[in-house]
Chain A
């Protein structure tokens, strides 16, 4: 460590000589300019008082903090120019924030105004070791390698490496229980199936009231769920809801395209589609009544519900799955079956050949 106070210009010139090939010779370090607080005692004293003043405010703010913590009612509000917040929350934040900030400002003020500001020069060395050190290292390594007998009994190294590599396999295998293995059977029972089934009533997603076909106005959209969802709770509820959620729309029958294969999937212009976006699975909810488009608020994929849910814009690649529906004897909407294709975002093993494509019939 070669540090010394080196403000004198001529001293630094020694360094500059080395770089004599440069267009302008290194003039060496700038001369040290004394600060106002160095040359004016009253300025120095003022800075001293400022540092002390800032630090003196910290205990004061800390006491106020404690008082606010214990004394301010929990539900008291503060209002200021249309801005309002909880009084205790703002009070604690202001007092603690200012106190901490003042400690920092005091330290920096002290360093900048009162500590020596004479720049120092420290020598730097290349990151690498010296040739001697390298040689010594290699010698030490050689000695160790000789001691290990690896030179004559080479197989130990390979065997040890192999053993260490293989021991990783049991470690990795212990993670195999992190989740069920999505083989074909598991997939059919989970992500490729929902709780929709023949005869399951379509119900309002908040009130769970059954929906009557005659109650739906043309142009309206209703968020719905299967009635059987009511019996579920906790994680089960979430898992099924994340797949079973649907939107029901009623459109003027002559303003929509209904392919022959889906003639009997709808009831007088009432159609039900999966609410889960085929892109990354957001629940789609923005209904453009005039154009019959349904827009996903997450990534703006847009589906044409008047054309079997095909994608008209955005990053989604597949049409929204349609739920075949009918009415029961009392005029309530019921599902005719589960969805015919898996709902939600794509996954590698998904057989997407049977999904509806624009122009299919």
Chain B
């Protein structure tokens, strides 16, 4: 249908009759020429204006994170116009009646002013908070997409590291942000962080005194957090995001496997005009949805919590969602503390909070290098893995998600206990075991599912897909007729290469001489066997050929139905 008429390419008649189109933008004479004279933008645009990007919904997750960040910058600027990052005590005199005359910090009072006395202030504040939640959520979903499709492999390891850095900074940005209003909830969060900082062996007390300018809560921490929140962290974020995007442009985007997609090309739509419209439009969609959320869904109603009071706390206090897993780890940790000489080592706080966060980001950061070492794979990868075809990696990923989820659920152990009328202690004891056991179960189940899917793929390539047509044989047996799959699908299901599993280099070669050169250690070989050993190889060319001859599709079907079948297969 869409095949262009080939004659058009060669027909001299057509070529000569085409009148020359006038140059767009009025040629390079006007403002464009002026700019090009100074910036050389034509050369840049020539290369990049029609840059091709592949299309897939899962590539939008990172975009959502980027757009949330832009919304955060825009709404954040608005908020700084009124917010006063000061812990000086004032008497509230704004229009929220229930807090009139109450003593609070200027930070809290100005946040109430934004919420009640600046028109549109509450809307912008709530957009800002929702955007922050979405920013971290989208970044995390994007990270999972990149992990499960193997997009972190060579040459993108550095971009993965930048991404891990972005995720950690995004959580810090979120935390410093929701600590600013100095309400009861955020003050409780700061008290918690004070405890975390204190728990660091050797330097904890010093770090606490340096962060808070002395004892908790002091009078400087809000203005310091404010500096970090509006200047330091967004500055670094902006720099890292630029690098993240620049590397995407340089490496070109990865693509999912499919007919015509190779490691040497990228198939998709051009930046101008399709991606400009789609991605630009998507920015407005994300922005629009965030504005609607800000208008319709309440978030962080600080006037209900009241100003911070170090002697008060609300039951059911919960941090923003991305800190929930750390909160959970701190909750279920047994009360271990060592008293060595005149020192105190609070493992009960240091391990689940500071050390666990460090471990999480370290594991994320080193994974691409660990996997490359295990598989010994030094090639560039631009075609994404289907998660099922990397069964062990996918299983590890799901195990990690399960572990995270268990910690996260633990962060609401009190809410679970109240909602389901179970003992809080029982929930806590259960979660202490679950954080270790559930990931193992998840790993086993996921790996089995992936391998089964691999077998199902091989089966489909060899014997076609199920037609839903039941055929009765002359002997009276029933069987389902299979229809052959299209060449496109068969290619997509078999294009992945099965990585070779490293075998340990023997110490002595055949002649008993010590081997030289690059060696494969026994450990690495065992890991490679564990990582790759169970993969189901896609059927070979000979097997496919043999299967085609052995199982002709439903020979008993009358001619007419066979036609229908072919149609079915075409439509597939």
Contact = CB atoms under 8 A, between A and B. Distances in A.
Interface in A164-205: 175, 178-182, 186-187, 190-191, 205
A214 interface: no
18 contacts: A16-B260, A23-B539, A24-B495, A93-B294, A101-B287, A104-B284, A112-B278, A122-B51, A178-B210, A179-B213, A237-B89, A238-B310, A275-B311, A285-B313, A346-B199, A347-B205, A347-B208, A348-B345
B309 interface: yes
> Among B6, B210, B290, B352, which residue has the most Cβ atoms of chain A within 10 A?
B210
A49 interface: no
Interface string B204-234: 1110111111111111000000000000000
A155 interface: no
Interface of B: 1-4, 6, 46-47, 50-52, 87-89, 95, 119-120, 122-123, 155, 188, 191-192, 194-196, 198-206, 208-219, 250-252, 258-260, 262-270, 273-274, 277-278, 280-296, 298, 308-317, 327, 330-337, 339, 342-346, 348-349, 352, 380, 382, 413-414, 424-425, 428, 461, 487-488, 490-491, 493-495, 538-541, 543-544
Given A245-B310, A279-B349, 7 more contacts: A8-B3, A24-B544, A34-B2, A92-B120, A124-B382, A318-B337, A348-B203
A19 B278 contact: no
B538 A23 contact: yes
Interface stretch (A259-267, A293-301, A327-335): A293-301
Nearest to A29: B260
A353 B342 contact: yes
A348 B292 contact: no
A2 B18 CA distance: 24
A64 to B, nearest CB: 13
A2 B310 CA distance: 65
B260 A315 contact: no
Interface of A: 1, 3, 5, 7-9, 12, 15-16, 18-19, 22-34, 69, 74, 85-86, 88-90, 92-94, 96-108, 110-112, 115-124, 126-128, 175, 178-182, 186-187, 190-191, 205, 223, 225, 233-235, 237-239, 241-243, 245, 275, 279-283, 285-286, 297-301, 311, 313-318, 345-353
B209 A182 contact: yes
Contact of A26 (B51, B119, B262, B461): B262
Given A179-B211, A285-B313, A101 B284 contact: yes
B261 to A, nearest CB: 8
Given A280-B195, A349-B205, A180 B214 contact: yes
Contacts of A282: 188, 191-192, 313, 317
A26 B260 contact: yes
Contacts of B344: 346-352
A279 B4 contact: no
B285 to A, nearest CB: 4
Contact of B260 (A30, A105, A107, A351): A30
A106 B285 CA distance: 10
Nearest to B216: A242
B265 A123 contact: yes
A178 B337 CA distance: 29
Given A12-B260, A235-B218, A122 B191 contact: no
A181 B206 CA distance: 7
A97 B538 contact: no
Contact of B315 (A34, A280, A297): A297
Contacts of B219: 234-235
Nearest to A282: B313
A17 to B, nearest CB: 11
Contact of A98 (B292, B312, B317): B292
B2 A24 contact: no
Contact of B311 (A15, A29, A122, A241): A241
Contacts of B346: 317, 345-346
Contact of A92 (B123, B287, B345, B495): B123
B458 to A, nearest CB: 10
A119 B3 contact: no
Contacts of A5: 4
> Among A101, A190, A275, which residue has the most Cβ atoms of chain B within 10 A?
A101
A302 B349 CA distance: 16
Contacts of A3: 50, 52, 270
A350 B201 CA distance: 11
Contact of B334 (A101, A105, A315): A315
> Among B155, B192, B339, which residue has the most Cβ atoms of chain A within 10 A?
B339
B260 A121 contact: yes
A316 B210 CA distance: 25
B195 A279 contact: yes
Contacts of A118: 2
B281 A280 contact: no
Contacts of B260: 12, 15-16, 26-30, 121
Contacts of B327: 299
A279 to B, nearest CB: 7
Nearest to B295: A93
The 5 A-B residue pairs with the shortest CB-CB distance, nearest first, are A93-B295, A280-B195, A101-B288, A107-B281, A104-B284
B89 to A, nearest CB: 5
B201 A348 contact: yes
Nearest to B67: A104
A297 B262 contact: no
Contacts of A298: 188, 192, 313, 317
A97 B292 contact: yes
B335 A301 contact: yes
A283 B295 CA distance: 34
Contacts of A281: 191-192, 194-195, 216
B262 to A, nearest CB: 6
Given A27-B487, A242-B310, A122 B266 contact: yes
A24 B281 contact: no
A169 to B, nearest CB: 17
B267 to A, nearest CB: 5
Nearest to A16: B260
B153 to A, nearest CB: 12
A120 B50 contact: yes
> Among B46, B281, B488, which residue has the most Cβ atoms of chain A within 10 A?
B281
A297 B314 contact: yes
Given A94-B292, A180-B214, A234-B88, A346 B349 contact: yes
A205 B313 CA distance: 14
A349 B200 CA distance: 11
A182 B194 contact: no
B195 A297 contact: no
Contact of A31 (B3, B281, B310): B3
A100 B288 contact: yes
Given A22-B494, A299-B331, A300-B414, A352 B339 contact: yes
Nearest to A301: B335
B330 A315 contact: yes
A126 B380 contact: yes
